[in-house]
Amino acid sequence: MQIKPLPATSSAPPGAAPDWTVAQDWKGYTREEHATWDLLFDRQAAMLPGRVTPAFLKGLEVLRLSRRGIPDFAELSQRLHALTGWSVVAVPGLVPEAVFFEHLAQRRFVAGRFIRRADQLDYLQEPDVFHDVFGHVPLLADPVFADYMQAYGEGGLRSLRLGALDKLARLYWYTVEFGLIREGGALRLYGAGIVSSYGESVYALDDPSPHRIGFDLRRVMRTRYRIDDYQQNYFVIDSFEDLLHQTRDADFAPLYAQLESLADIESGTMVPGDAVITLGTQAHARARSGLH
Contacts of Fe ion in 56-85 (CB under 5 A): none
β-partners of residue 189 are: 52, 180
Does residue 92 contact residue 22 with C-beta atoms inside 8 Å? yes
Residue 139 binds to Fe ion (criterion: CB under 5 A): no
CA distance 105 to 19: 13
Q: Which stretch binds Fe ion (CB under 5 A): 14-22, 51-59, 82-90, 119-127?
A: 119-127
Number of residues that bind Fe ion (CB under 5 A): 4
CB of 196 to Fe ion, least distance (A): 8
CB of 201 to Fe ion, least distance (A): 15
Does residue 205 contact residue 51 with C-beta atoms inside 8 Å? yes
Residue 1 binds to Fe ion (criterion: CB under 5 A): yes
Q: Which stretch binds Fe ion (CB under 5 A): 18-26, 153-161, 187-195, 265-273?
A: 187-195
Between residues 169 and 259, which has the closer beta carbon with respect to Fe ion? 169
Between residues 1 and 164, which has the closer beta carbon with respect to Fe ion? 1
Between residues 71 and 127, which has the closer beta carbon with respect to Fe ion? 127
CB of 20 to Fe ion, least distance (A): 16
Q: Which stretch binds Fe ion (CB under 5 A): 71-79, 94-102, 137-145, 192-200?
A: 192-200
Contacts of Fe ion in 214-253 (CB under 5 A): none
Catalytic residues: 131, 136, 177, 196
Residues forming the site for Fe ion (CB under 5 A): 1-2, 127, 192
